[in-house]
Structure 1
Amino acid sequence: MNSRNWTVLTVVGIVLALGAGLLVGRYWHDSDRTKGNRAEVEKIVREYILDHPEILPQAMENLQKRENAQALSGISDQVHAPFPGAVLGNPQGKVTLVEFTDFACTFCRQSVAEVEQLIAANPDLRVVVRELPILSPQSANAAKMALAAAEQGKYAAFHNAMYAAGQPSPETIAAAAQAAGLDMDRANKTIADPRLEAELTRNVEFARRLGFSGTPSWIAGDALLSGAVGKDRLAEAIEAARKG
């Protein structure tokens, strides 16, 4: 059973419990009976929910916001603080979209154009990219080269070139680095720095705490989104984050 189904069941359970408490109280107050049976109570609760179905999506939305806030508690500032230079869009943007990505991820590759369109439509958008190399043996090497590119101020160039090159391999990583114009001597020294491995390890831990099991995954305001959710859904989340 997926997490959404669990959320639905949880909300229904909460609604039933709350509804039962409220309605049973009303039931006993309105009746002169001192005894009732379970079937009668369940019938009242069921009828209430059927008469007021709007409480279910409202309850689900509130529960999801609460769960998201709990997941982000204590790590939000860290997650939103990029590895130096690993930013797309406006580095000083007032609205932040965080993307967890892997260069071996087909859906991440498909999302590149959507993110570019969102950046073009939102001049105040800062996209913090967190490298999450979990899909292929070469993903980590590509991610480290991306961070080395960030250190040279050429993150966006490498990011786009790497996705355009195809699946990560020694050949495609080298081609993307060349296309981005990296100083390879400098890049190789950066790649050997232990802080890059520490950054990737930290991103894996962030993803675990946030419940992200794959890429792409996104954070915008209090919205946690998994998968290729599409430009429109991301745009909605960005706008909600802008409004606070």
Structure 2
Amino acid sequence: MSRYTLPLVVVLGGLIGAGAVWSSERFTSPGGADRARIERVVHDYVLSHPEIIPQAMQALQERQSGETVAANRDAILTPFGSAWAGNPKGDVTLVEYFDYNCGYCRASLPMIADLLKRDPNLRIVYRDLPILSEASRTAARASLAAAQQGKFLGFHDALYAGGPVSDASIKGAAAKAGVTLAALDTGAIDGEIAKNMATAAKLGMNGTPSWVVGNRVLSGALPVEELEKAIAAARGK
């Protein structure tokens, strides 16, 4: 029997009329001959329609990630200081987990700017996720210091515009944004980084950029149209 059979009984039972017993509150698992008959029907249906397997697994993954987002909503949606952009009262929040050394994060900058222009009801929250190098962590600490001082976006743009991340480019971006690195609150900042790391692990993120919108978790440098679809879906709910 396929390892997909039992989960797909629930997914497909109503669709194929397999005789599964439903109530308004729960699914009652059949036994004996009925169970064997249902498994055979599902087995034959899956062999005839193998395309439903990735569809069903994707639906399961999205449901699980949605539950994780709901359980960690404050840690995801509440910005650290001024690490946000767009409409502060926007009806949808798009969260980006990023690393300053990530080329795909850099490539996503025009797309984010485009989204903000297109959608006046969108809020974006930026979450530092320094996973690529020690320089990434140094940059994240400076970024979060800027957020504490209400100067996140100025530092964020200046550091990306300053080329490869280095001690010199970090200090240069801080000077340009008016950020005082000597005032860096290491306790709160390191706590924020640790929280972001823990939340990203719970959400199954394994790279940057990663995104959360509504109850969905997305990965990679995505086309603006794909993020717009996710935003529209979140708005529709």
Q: Structure 1 residue 54: deviation in Å? A: 7.6
Quote the residue 1:188 is aligned against: 182
Structure 1 residue 198 corresponds to structure 2 residue 191: yes
Q: Which amino acid aligns with 1:68?
A: S
What value does the CA root-mean-square deviation take over the aligned residues?
Answer: 3.2
Cα separation, 1, equivalents of 2:71 and 2:12:
33
Quote the residue 1:156 is aligned against: 153
Q: Structure 1 residue 62: deviation in Å? A: 3.4
Structure 2 residue aligned with 1:127, among 124, 137, 146? 124
Q: Which amino acid aligns with 2:182?
A: N
Cα separation, 2, equivalents of 1:92 and 1:142:
29
Structure 1 residue 141 corresponds to structure 2 residue 134: no
Structure with larger Rg: 1
Cα separation, 2, equivalents of 1:11 and 1:163:
45
Structure 1 residue aligned with 2:59, among 59, 62, 78? 62
Structure 1 residue 97 corresponds to structure 2 residue 94: yes
- CA distance change for structure 1 residues 193 and 57 in 2, over 3 Å: closer, same or farther? closer
CA contact (8 A) 2:75 2:199 kept: no
Give TM-score scaled by structure 2 length.
0.80
Structure 1 residue 207 corresponds to structure 2 residue 200: yes
Structure 2 residue aligned with 1:239, among 225, 232, 237? 232
Cα separation, 2, equivalents of 1:109 and 1:161:
12
Quote the residue 1:179 is aligned against: 176
Unpaired segments ≥5 residues, structure 2 = 21-32
CA contact (8 A) 1:11 1:60 kept: no
Give runs of aligned pairs for residues 25-40 of structure 1, distance below 5 A: none
Cα separation, 2, equivalents of 1:65 and 1:10:
19
Structure 1 residue aligned with 2:222, among 229, 232, 235? 229
More helix per residue: 1
C-alpha distance after superposition, 1:59-86 (max 9, x if no partner): 3453233111222242112210010111
Out of 59-68 and 211-220, give the one that drifted further. Answer: 59-68
Q: Percent identity?
A: 40
Cα separation, 2, equivalents of 1:19 and 1:85:
47
Q: Structure 1 residue 228: deviation in Å? A: 1.6
Query: Number of residue pairs matched?
Result: 222
Unpaired segments ≥5 residues, structure 1 = 1-8, 27-34
1:138 is paired with a residue of what secondary structure?
A: helix
Cα separation, 1, equivalents of 2:18 and 2:148:
63
C-alpha distance after superposition, 1:89-132 (max 9, x if no partner): 22222210011001011111101111111111111111111101
Quote the residue 2:68 is aligned against: 71
Q: Structure 1 residue 213: deviation in Å? A: 1.5
- CA distance change for structure 1 residues 230 and 18 in 2, over 3 Å: closer, same or farther? closer
Give TM-score scaled by structure 1 length.
0.78
